[in-house]
Amino acid sequence: MASTSPGTWRGPLGADGGDSTTGDGGWQRESRILKGLKHLLSQWGQVWDGAESGRCLRVYTCHSGAVRDACWTPCGQQLLTASFDNTAAITDVETGQQTVKLDNQFKVMCVALHPSNPNVVLCGGYSSAVKAWDSRSCKVVKVYKAGIQQTLDILFLKGGEDFITSSDCVSRDSADRTLIAWDYQTTAVLSNQIYHERYTCPSLALHPLEDTFVAQTNGNYMALFSTQKPYRMNKRRRYEGHKVEGYAVQCEFSQDGALLVSGSSTGSAHFYDFHSARLLHSLQAHSKPCLCVAQHPVLPATAATCDWAGEVKIWH
């Protein structure tokens, strides 16, 4: 991203100097150029033209409750959404028709597609279990159970043989369940001795090139872990300078893995050098908590931010 001088950023581009788009109550996940924007508070899915007009291209009535998570399917023709109405749904973006509905019988907070078999959908939320569904038959094919109350995020590691879940466990005797590594095929716990500090981890992100992943923590820092067993935490490197403070603040890597970006409960966006953990830039993006920062997958000088109030901004 470009800056006019050290610490001074040019953008955003709209009437107030920026390209700003305000949503209907706050579900923003992805637009034509955006990737990774998660938010809560609306039962609609909205797809935005972030590259040109900033217009809302289409609104999808996917659920009867708040939408907590969403992602594109690999073909780019469908949206997978997770909702507090206890369902996950797949919607055709061209027709607006719901093609798959998965009734989990609990509020769904996070979904993940298997990286090598996109017909498999993992759903987690207000339950001690994570369910794996076959979206073709709409049947549960695997269940992963742990002594937790809710799952906050799900992250498949490379190849899809194992995955990580984050939970709400923070009591003295439950730090071993904050992050759990699972064997996808057998449903066995591979490790629950990953993260021992008593902070919840609202979001996880996988490095695109290296064998590492990060966890956003309510200790106001991002922790770095190996994707190889036993998933050791790098105690010499942490990314701090932003605030989480109980909000579902997301983190994400740039396409080349050089940058790690994060929102902040203070409304700012933060850009870290991945290898040095040095804070490269920060900008005051919103007056409300900034829940996500997403870099453009093609244009490295473009990023998007969204806040708790439902506003999305494109920055150049």
Structural domains of the chain in order of their starting residue, each with its CATH number: 1-26+249-316 (2.40.10), 27-248 (2.130.10.10)
pTM here is: 0.84
Concatenating the DSSP letter of every residue in 173-200 gives T-GGGSEEEEETTT--EEES-S--SS--
- Give the pair of three-digit tokens for residue 230: 């036993």
pLDDT of residue 148: 86
8 contact partners, CB below 8 Å, separation of at least 6: none
Better-predicted residue by pLDDT, 282 or 62: 282
Tell how strand 303-307 and strand 311-315 pair up: antiparallel
Do residues 54 and 33 touch, judged by C-beta distance below 8 A? no
Question: What does DSSP assign to residue 211?
Answer: S
Nearest to 153 by CA among 105, 206, 96: 206
Helix (H, G, I), strand (E, B) or coil at 163: strand
pLDDT per position as a tens digit, 155-183: 999 999 999 999 987 655 555 678 999 99
CA 63/CA 68 separation, integer angstroms: 11
- Chain Cα centroid distance, residue 5: 31
pLDDT in tens, 43-79: 455 666 655 666 666 677 778 888 888 888 888 888 8
